[in-house]
């Protein structure tokens, strides 16, 4: 990995975000805003004295900010559509991408590789308490998988025995030091040569349960569209874990809503549960070391902190068509404490940035760059909002109401509530109060900031194995990359 370029990812995000904020401040300054305002005094019911200001922010600045935001959104949407359309329509004489839809269609025309089958791989490290529910959810599928293979990696508990008691196959890794990605690579090295082009491989976590119709929908999609290379799951949080659990469930509900709005076009094929065509995984392994980062012959890049995000970018870089249908739901465990949530999100953020450093700025990564910059700008805006509120409290000896910003707050509360509506009354109550979720967002934003500054200053990434409370204490040992 080019460490200089990797560090430049963090620096680039910081520079672009500060540049955007600087342009906004410059726009405000040149419009010569009034230095003083004169709030109105009002008495309600003859007893409540209050002050308010009906003065609007500069309309020119607001129009310019809104216009720039819309231009950015249009740029991202149009560029994404252009890239997707090119892969779907361009023939082999135009694109050299081995998994581009037209390339796949031409290669497989007139060839029947058999009915679509599903082999499920479950990487497991000391999961004796959580894996039974996962296996049961697989066996209860409306279309059961053809084979289930538990990939037992350095287990010191009864994971292997529990898996065998449920009647599934077990693959035990040998000398693996590369965590989940290394374990899956060992299993796939044996498995992929035995599978045909119509066979598929599902990779799912040992602490998750998929919806009853997940595999039925995935097989239908693969059967109807032989150019489709991967089907991802739409995950939702399990019950429990109090207010912190509700924050995470609301977040996942909104992510589901976003993917539905995008008609299944997925950002990340979640490692929680996704199904891949075997031919796609073979193409990725073949391209490693030349077209893609990693070691030739390995499906997963074991240097990546977030292997699911990296594999998604790898597939898209080869032109693969992917989707996450609404019917493919998966329930995943939530982080039960703030410390574990911090470790999880720091790994996600740092891993996403490192993957951009590996792939650089390409048509396939443009959407991911825009996503990171948007998160960075959102972080700056949110903390600036809190800073201005604090400044006003310290500077004024009385509270002044601003109807314009109260109106913005009401719209924000409505948006929060509507987007979490599916989660029931608890989700709506947390959403409509706004500030609890803002505090949760601040926590996630701090994890983003730490990830950006760590990569910008070349700090080595470390994280802890997430102990969900179902495994022995030695499962929580610290792991470093």
Give me the pLDDT at residue 5, please.
64
Give the per-residue pLDDT at 47: 78
Q: What is the pTM of this model?
A: 0.85
Task: For residue 246, give Cα distances in angstroms to 77, 209, 237, 410, 431.
Answer: 31, 19, 9, 21, 10
Rounded to an integer, what distance in angstroms lies between the CA atom of residue 429 and that of residue 207?
Answer: 28
Say how far apart CA 214 and CA 221 lie, in whole Å: 11
Q: Which helix (H) or strand (E) holds 204?
A: strand 199-204
Q: Which burial class, exposed, middle or buried, applies to 247 when counting CB atoms under 10 A from its CB (0-12, 13-18, 19+)?
A: buried
At 470 the pLDDT is 46
**Contact (CB, 8 A) for 338 and 473:** no
Q: What is the pLDDT of residue 479?
A: 33
Provide the edge-to-edge strand list for the sheet that holds 48-52. 40-44, 48-52, 400-401
The residue written with tokens 């996503």 in the block is: 371
What Cα–Cα distance (Å) separates residue 155 from each residue in 165, 171, 231, 475?
16, 11, 29, 9
Residue with tokens 């659990």: 245
Q: Which helix (H) or strand (E) holds 211?
A: none
Decide: residue 388, CB within 10 A, 0-12 exposed, 13-18 middle, 19+ buried: exposed
pLDDT for the residue 475: 36
Per-residue tens of pLDDT for the chain, all 481 residues: 455 666 677 788 888 888 888 887 887 777 776 666 677 887 877 777 788 888 787 788 888 888 888 988 888 888 877 777 776 666 655 567 889 888 888 888 887 778 899 999 999 999 998 899 999 989 999 999 999 999 999 999 999 999 999 999 999 999 998 889 999 999 999 999 999 988 999 999 998 889 999 999 999 999 999 899 999 999 889 998 999 999 999 999 999 999 988 888 888 898 889 999 999 999 999 999 999 999 999 999 988 888 999 999 999 999 999 999 999 999 988 999 999 999 999 988 888 888 888 888 888 888 888 888 888 888 888 888 888 888 888 887 778 888 888 898 999 999 999 999 999 999 999 999 999 999 999 999 999 989 888 888 777 665 555 555 444 333 333 333 3
The Cα–Cα gap between 476 and 472 comes to 8
Structure tokens at 186: 């060992």
At 130, list the tokens.
């959580």
């Amino acid at each position: 990995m080019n460490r200089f370029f990797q560090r430049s990812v963090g620096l680039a995000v910081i520079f672009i975000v500060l540049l955007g904020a600087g342009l906004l401040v410059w726009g405000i300054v040149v419009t010569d805003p009034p230095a003083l305002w004169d709030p109105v005094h009002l008495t309600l019911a003859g007893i409540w004295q209050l002050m308010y200001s009906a003065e609007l922010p500069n309309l020119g600045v607001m129009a310019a900010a809104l216009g720039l935001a819309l231009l950015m959104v249009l740029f991202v949407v149009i560029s994404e559509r252009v890239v997707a359309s090119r892969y779907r329509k361009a023939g082999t004489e135009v694109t050299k991408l081995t998994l581009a839809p037209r390339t796949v269609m031409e290669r497989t025309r007139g060839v029947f590789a058999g009915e679509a089958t599903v082999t499920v791989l479950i990487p497991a490290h000391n999961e004796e308490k959580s894996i039974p529910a996962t296996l049961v959810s697989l066996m209860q599928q409306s279309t059961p998988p053809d084979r289930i293979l538990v990939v037992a990696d350095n287990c010191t508990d009864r994971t292997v025995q529990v898996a065998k008691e449920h009647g599934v196959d077990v693959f035990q890794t040998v000398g693996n030091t590369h965590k989940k990605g290394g374990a899956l690579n060992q299993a796939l090295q044996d498995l992929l040569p035995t599978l045909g082009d119509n066979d598929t491989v599902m990779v799912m976590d040992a602490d998750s349960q998929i919806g009853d119709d997940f595999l039925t929908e995935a097989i239908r999609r693969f059967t109807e569209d032989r150019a489709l290379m991967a089907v991802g799951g739409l995950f939702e949080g399990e019950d429990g874990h109090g207010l912190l659990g509700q924050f995470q469930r609301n977040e996942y509900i909104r992510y589901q809503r976003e993917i539905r709005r995008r008609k299944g076009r997925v950002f990340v094929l979640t490692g929680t549960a996704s199904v891949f065509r075997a031919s796609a995984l073979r193409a990725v392994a073949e391209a490693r070391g030349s077209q893609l980062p990693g070691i030739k012959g390995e499906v997963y890049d074991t240097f990546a902190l977030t292997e699911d995000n990296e594999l998604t970018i790898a597939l898209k870089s080869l032109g693969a068509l992917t989707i996450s249908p609404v019917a493919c739901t998966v329930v995943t465990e939530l982080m039960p404490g703030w410390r574990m949530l911090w470790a999880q999100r720091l790994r996600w953020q740092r891993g996403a940035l490192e993957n951009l450093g590996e792939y650089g700025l390409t048509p396939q990564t443009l959407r991911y760059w825009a996503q990171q910059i948007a998160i960075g700008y959102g972080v700056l805006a949110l903390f600036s909002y809190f800073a201005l509120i604090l400044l006003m409290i310290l500077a004024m000896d009385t509270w002044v109401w601003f109807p314009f910003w109260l109106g913005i707050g009401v719209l924000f509360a409505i948006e929060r509530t509507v987007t979490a509506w599916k989660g029931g009354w608890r989700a709506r109550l947390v959403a409509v109060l706004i500030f609890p979720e803002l505090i949760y967002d601040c926590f996630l934003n701090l994890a983003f900031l730490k990830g950006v500054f760590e990569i910008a200053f070349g700090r080595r990434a470390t994280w802890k194995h997430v102990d969900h409370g179902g495994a022995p204490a030695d499962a929580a040992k610290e792991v470093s990359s």
